[in-house]
Amino acid sequence: MKVLVTVKRVIDYNVKVRVKSDNTDVDLNNVKMAINPFCEIAVEEAVRLKEAGTATEIVVVSLGPQAAQEQLRTALALGADRAILVQSDENLESLSVAKLLAKVVEKEQPDLVLMGKQAIDSDNNQTGQMLAALTGMGQGTFASEVKVEDGKVQVTREVDGGLQTVELSTPAVVTTDLRLNEPRYASLPNIMKAKRKPLETLTPADLGVEVKANTKLLKVEPPAERSAGIKVADVAELVDKLKNEAKVI
């Protein structure tokens, strides 16, 4: 079984995001970048499938600038076999990403596509569903458990009412949720080995896809700062402040 895993380059989740002084975008200068946490979970699940003898090859793919090779090398150090970078300096929207990934799927013919359910920068939660629609593959989203046997993929997914289990025929698209697993850290020997693993670079033109923006970013603003909370001595003081200061009762 060949598993294709998508990896997105995002600002490290431990870093406080800053907005440019002219409010045109997020400031990425001298900011630590990392693999999107949900994508890390997808990579970990693929590696576990390989360790269990279910998967035979893991291919990681990223779309973005040349610097995204760093995140692909990290995924290779975690256990992926080879990597593909679709290099583009454009601000790729979900539909463009899905179209490019559909061409990569057509080229690689994977049995299973594992993706993070969303990226922590845009939080769109769209690409996995769009890819499934474009390729005609079944999809299991928000996966908290994945089982593969007899050419079928059982996905336990988190829904509003609890848990739902769906069975998919391969090839299929599965998007991962937080509770699926705990990603491992790359060891130093594996980091060194990753430098020798193959990494192929393509462009949208190589895949026959025209990258087109359908939206325009007008302005980016940081969230409004919240005032500090206060402590009250008793319930009577709390009610008084809610009534006369906050005016919510």
pLDDT of the residue at 199: 96
In a domain, 103, yes or no: yes
Residue 249 lies in a domain: no
pLDDT score for 228: 83
Is 64 inside a domain boundary?
Answer: yes
Residue 216, Cβ density class (10 Å: 0-12 exposed, 13-18 middle, ≥19 buried): exposed
Q: Model confidence over 31-54: pLDDT tens digits?
A: 999 999 999 999 999 999 999 999
Q: Which two tokens stand for residue 140?
A: 């299991």
Q: Quote the distance between the C-alpha of residue 67 and its chain's center.
A: 17
Whether 70 contacts 106, CB under 8 Å: no
Q: If you write DSSP's letter for every residue of 96-163 in order, what string do you get?
A: HHHHHHHHHHHHH--SEEEEES--TTT----HHHHHHHHHT-EEEEEEEEEEEETTEEEEEEEETTEE
Closest alpha carbon to 85 in 189, 75, 95, 94: 75
If you compute the radius of gyration of the chain from its CA atoms, what whole number of angstroms results? 21
Cα(128)–Cα(197) distance, integer angstroms: 26
The answer as to whether 165 is a domain residue is: yes
pLDDT at 63: 96
Identify whether 200 is part of a domain: yes
Q: Which string of DSSP letters, residue by residue, matches 72-96?
A: HHHHHHHT-SEEEEEE--S---HHH
Q: What is the CATH number of the domain that holds 71?
A: 3.40.50.620
Quote the pLDDT of residue 217: 87
* 22: in domain: yes
Does 201 reside within a domain?
yes
Residues lower than pLDDT 50 in the chain: none
The whole-number pLDDT of residue 222 equals 86
Torsion sign across C-alpha atoms 128, 133, 136, 142: positive
> How many Cβ atoms sit within 10 Å of the Cβ of residue 172?
23
Distance CA(41)–CA(45), nearest Å, equals 6
Task: Confirm whether pTM is higher than 0.75.
Answer: yes
Q: What distance in Å separates the CA atoms of residue 9 and residue 19, rounded to the nearest whole number?
A: 18
Location of structure tokens 């289990």: 165
**What are 75-96's pLDDT values in tens digits?**
999 999 999 999 998 889 999 9
Is 23 domain-assigned?
yes
The count of domains in the chain is 1
Q: What is the pLDDT of residue 248?
A: 86
What gap in Å lies between CA 109 and CA 94, rounded to an integer? 21
Boundaries of domain holding 137: 2-244
What type of residue is 85?
L
- For 80, residues 6+ apart whose C-beta sits below 8 A from its C-beta are 5, 43, 46, 47, 58, 59, 60, 197
Sign of CA dihedral 73, 202, 41, 16: positive
Report the pLDDT value the prediction gives residue 159, as an integer from 0 to 100. 86
DSSP-assigned beta bridge partners for residue 162: 159
